[in-house]
Structure 1
């Protein structure tokens, strides 16, 4: 199916939150017709204002669109939307689910197997790049699924970012996404500790980041999150601590299931979970450095 053919069809989109909304917006602005559903009426209204149609339910989306995108916050919600009563599985029109969520390979496989019984194929398509990447259309998109099915949807990703085909089985994209997010969140945690130590030792934060980024210690945190969201004091990367906890938890569990001991990953998970437990779940992930500052002064640490 060509991109022009795809553009003539209505595309479904369930879950238009922090990540889903800017992706849906880009599809609409590229000329695609969308029918959208989310419990957040304000999020839906933002998209209907630029041409989307608001669906009454998940099933309404699945009764209208042959291709349905999902961008959902947790594995449990994803399963309910896909396989629950009144979910995508009960739709009369849907033939392809394109899942942009981060739900883990085991849940992705369970849903894909359940939908396939009803003749619905699943494209595992988690994304990386955060809300900023979703708005700019610069996401890294990890596609996994049957080659013939991928061919039918690939053109839709042109306005969302760069596509990487990582496998032919749903779940393979999820595994790679979790590994990516684990690396990212672990890098931010250790960078926060290094940053606080440097400041406490009298180093200038700007100079410190410049030197690290010219040396072997540079990583995504030092090159992007710290210069753009920590040093200016905005703490507005757009990804909450609670979501980091979900992703790194899924990643550690899946890696351990593959026989990898996960000593470093397990400790990083503990750091993020501890921050979440201290009223940090809804805070931007870049605020972890504030918790490290507090802990370095003995505040917020268990006796």
Structure 2
């Protein structure tokens, strides 16, 4: 990997993930400027030593940009502003976005002599803060090479080049809906275990060492659900959105994943009951309230 001559990078979106990625790049020696429409988000970033701006247009032509945005529509309005001035080398979009959007943005960037890659990430706040995220990359070989210095700083090389533009988005959405399905199914299973008088934590540990085990049973339930903490940092609203989007992307090409559609509907029901700001691990409160101290939606948490 060639070290870039210009280590200026903008991070667009300074929420939980974007703010942590900005801090990681700053600590790695990059000259970081952050942008977020929220003054509170900018202030939090500044406390980490990161320079910020309240003007997205002031970042036009900056050599590198990392996007961490809530939706594909915002990506579509942001990228043209970054490309409005010459000088952009690569835009790394970590947003859980839509493949059609990424294809259009990659084409637009190429017209401007720049690279755009879709690189949605997994690993949560801890991965973002330590530069150990994993990424699903959709890009041409040329675009990936241009973006690699920033991508390496964020992932330590832990990324998969899935294919051309948009392919990273597809696989990330599939990853998320599989996680959504597992969160619901593990909750239901542990609910059955508890009904039989079995400690859910014991059941989860036993299952995790066998063929039904997963990161959900081994880590998410013991750490965030059975403790009642529900503090993963990823929201119910975002997971419900991703599950619905995964089904929508499938249907756009004529696929009809029946089980995944059922999962997406289940998350929409939980979203209606718990609200978008609830932690995504609170799905357990909807599918198996007896196993979590937080209890069913609308109930008073156990003391």
Map of 1:230 onto structure 2 = 225
Map of 1:119 onto structure 2 = 113
The whole-number CA distance in structure 2 between the counterparts of 1:62 and 1:115 is 13
Map of 1:135 onto structure 2 = 129
Deviations 1:54-76 (Å, cap 9, x if unpaired)? 1232211124x111111101112
- Asked if 2 retains the 8 angstrom alpha-carbon contact of 1:127 and 1:140, the reply is yes
Q: Secondary structure at the match of 2:11?
A: strand
- Asked if 1 retains the 8 angstrom alpha-carbon contact of 2:273 and 2:297, the reply is no
The whole-number CA distance in structure 2 between the counterparts of 1:298 and 1:49 is 38
Q: Secondary structure at the match of 1:19?
A: helix
Q: Secondary structure at the match of 2:203?
A: helix
For structure 1, the residue ranges without an aligned partner over 5 or more in a row are none
| Equivalences for residues 203-222 of structure 1 within 5 A | 203-222=198-217
| Equivalences for residues 1-303 of structure 1 within 5 A | 2-3=2-3, 5-6=4-5, 8-63=6-61, 65-83=62-80, 87-161=81-155, 162-167=158-163, 169-293=164-288
- Asked if 2 retains the 8 angstrom alpha-carbon contact of 1:252 and 1:265, the reply is yes
Q: 1:202 to 1:280 in 2, by over 3 A?
A: farther
Q: TM-score, normalised by structure 2?
A: 0.89
Between 1:175-184 and 1:141-150, the stretch displaced more is 141-150
Please give the root-mean-square deviation of Cα atoms over the aligned residues, in Å: 2.2
Between 1:211-220 and 1:261-270, the stretch displaced more is 211-220
Q: Secondary structure at the match of 1:217?
A: coil
Once the 2 structures are TM-superposed, how far is the Cα of residue 93 of structure 1 from its aligned partner?
3.0
Aligned residue pairs total 293
Q: 1:207 to 1:68 in 2, by over 3 A?
A: same
The whole-number CA distance in structure 2 between the counterparts of 1:120 and 1:251 is 28
Q: 1:294 to 1:232 in 2, by over 3 A?
A: closer
The whole-number CA distance in structure 2 between the counterparts of 1:282 and 1:298 is 16
- Asked if 2 retains the 8 angstrom alpha-carbon contact of 1:239 and 1:285, the reply is yes
Q: 1:298 to 1:99 in 2, by over 3 A?
A: closer
Once the 2 structures are TM-superposed, how far is the Cα of residue 143 of structure 1 from its aligned partner?
2.0
- Asked if 2 retains the 8 angstrom alpha-carbon contact of 1:15 and 1:71, the reply is yes
Once the 2 structures are TM-superposed, how far is the Cα of residue 294 of structure 1 from its aligned partner?
5.1
For structure 2, the residue ranges without an aligned partner over 5 or more in a row are 299-303
- Asked if 1 retains the 8 angstrom alpha-carbon contact of 2:183 and 2:216, the reply is yes
- Asked if 2 retains the 8 angstrom alpha-carbon contact of 1:108 and 1:171, the reply is yes
The whole-number CA distance in structure 1 between the counterparts of 2:129 and 2:196 is 38
Q: Which runs of 4+ in 1 moved over 4 A?
A: 294-300
Q: TM-score, normalised by structure 1?
A: 0.89
- Asked if 2 retains the 8 angstrom alpha-carbon contact of 1:206 and 1:231, the reply is yes
Once the 2 structures are TM-superposed, how far is the Cα of residue 295 of structure 1 from its aligned partner?
10
The whole-number CA distance in structure 2 between the counterparts of 1:207 and 1:279 is 27
